[in-house]
Amino acid sequence: MAARDRSRSRSPRRLLGPGARPVGLPRDLAQVVGPTGAGFLGPPLAGDALRSLALTAEQVAQFDNDGFIGTDVPVLTASQLEQLRADIDALSDASNPHPDAGLMHELHYNEAKGSGSVLFHSLGHWRCAVSFHDLLFIDAVTLPASQLLQGRPVRFWHDQAFAKPGGHGAVVQWHQDFSYWDRTGPMAHLTVHIALDDQTDENGALHWVPGSHRWKRQGGPLPQASQIARDKMKVAKSTGGEAMEAASFDTNMNALYDNVLNDQERAQWTADPPRSLYLKAGHAAFHHALTVHGSWGNRSLKPRRALVLNYFAHGTRSLMNGTLMKGLPKVKAGEILQGNFHPVVFDTSRLDMSQLPVSSV
């Protein structure tokens, strides 16, 4: 396929620094439904320009077969990449907490405590910086997302930021995203992983297990490996067994393989082992909500940073009463997830989706 620029704007103007808001924008950017218009994105595309961002039939077939695909061209311009890197560096600086950190759903300066390594991980930063907010709406991401969600309108679920510092960046253990999301349904969820640094074996490139999007338990996701490990630890403690640090489980790369997979799944893993796309900075990968993925530690001398967008098809509901994440309004079981916290990021009336290839998994 011919290389083409998948992003809306080549040179957005420089935005304000972390914590500052362009005049006229609210402190909580979740109140802004749609792009802020503050310069991170160019004007929305239409017609052939928009259609040129669509995945090809080959790419969709590869997604259906493997459970993941990467973009062949960047989804970010050089200046968007630069802005996002500056904003994630500010966000992950524990010595200078972000002034709006209270708006986030989760903020872990080190999710790998006790392991001797560091993993920065946050959710909800889209509420705090124009770049993180407007990233949700990048056409080069959201049109393919709609194709991979059977051509349906796409809503935002939540965001994530990961930063592994050079030299001591921690692993992200093998997992299926939907193991953490089964309080919502029916499953029509998708993850977009956007690399902010070139990913290599040395710095902990993201890997996926081909075909693992077919691995289910009772029609749902695999259990969370870390939860199983925590339960095992409780039993070990209560029976006087060896006590272990909780974090040692969360940084145990192989917990899913060792504690959750069955013989058939392990045989498939061995026959077709985890693969990386070795994403270049500014490129994105899309994976199915059940595709097992994970990454080893960062042994390089430079940081390895990534932003993740989690979406679902319009019509996805809450399966519980209460708050799905800290800082979200209460919902009732059965209620469709919508409103300003789950904005439409791709409206299918923008294009004739019946002319585009769409996923069937």
Ligand X SMILES: O=C(O)CCC(=O)C(=O)O
Residues that bind ligand X (CB under 6 A): 162, 172, 177, 191, 193, 206, 293, 295, 306, 308
Asked if residue 76 lies in contact with residue 194, where contact means CB atoms within 8 angstroms, the answer is yes
For 84, what's the count of Cα atoms within 13 Å in the CB-facing half-sphere?
A: 29
CB nearer ligand X, residue 295 or residue 316: 295
CB nearer ligand X, residue 181 or residue 346: 181
DSSP 109-150: S-TTTTTTSB-EEEE-GGGT-HHHHHHTT-HHHHHHHHHHTT
Q: What distance in Å separates the CA atoms of residue 106 and residue 202, rounded to the nearest whole number?
A: 28
CB nearer ligand X, residue 36 or residue 310: 310
Q: Please, what is the minimum distance in Å from the beta carbon of residue 220 to ligand X?
A: 18
Q: Which residues, other chains included, contact 234 with Cβ-Cβ below 8 Å and sequence gap of 6+?
A: none
Q: Please, what is the minimum distance in Å from the beta carbon of residue 65 to ligand X?
A: 19
Q: Please, what is the minimum distance in Å from the beta carbon of residue 45 to ligand X?
A: 25
CB nearer ligand X, residue 141 or residue 172: 172
CB nearer ligand X, residue 283 or residue 293: 293
CB nearer ligand X, residue 75 or residue 356: 75
Q: Please, what is the minimum distance in Å from the beta carbon of residue 224 to ligand X?
A: 13
Taking CB atoms, the residue at the shortest distance from ligand X is: 295
Asked if residue 295 lies in contact with residue 205, where contact means CB atoms within 8 angstroms, the answer is yes
Q: What distance in Å separates the CA atoms of residue 268 and residue 288, rounded to the nearest whole number?
A: 18
Amino acid identity for residue 209 in this structure? V
Q: What distance in Å separates the CA atoms of residue 108 and residue 137, rounded to the nearest whole number?
A: 25
- Please tell me whether residue 310 adopts helix, strand or coil conformation: strand
Q: Please, what is the minimum distance in Å from the beta carbon of residue 77 to ligand X?
A: 21
Six-digit token string for 238: 């209560």
Amino acid identity for residue 215 in this structure? W
Q: Please, what is the minimum distance in Å from the beta carbon of residue 288 to ligand X?
A: 11
Asked if residue 124 lies in contact with residue 161, where contact means CB atoms within 8 angstroms, the answer is no
Q: Please, what is the minimum distance in Å from the beta carbon of residue 236 to ligand X?
A: 27
CB nearer ligand X, residue 162 or residue 341: 162
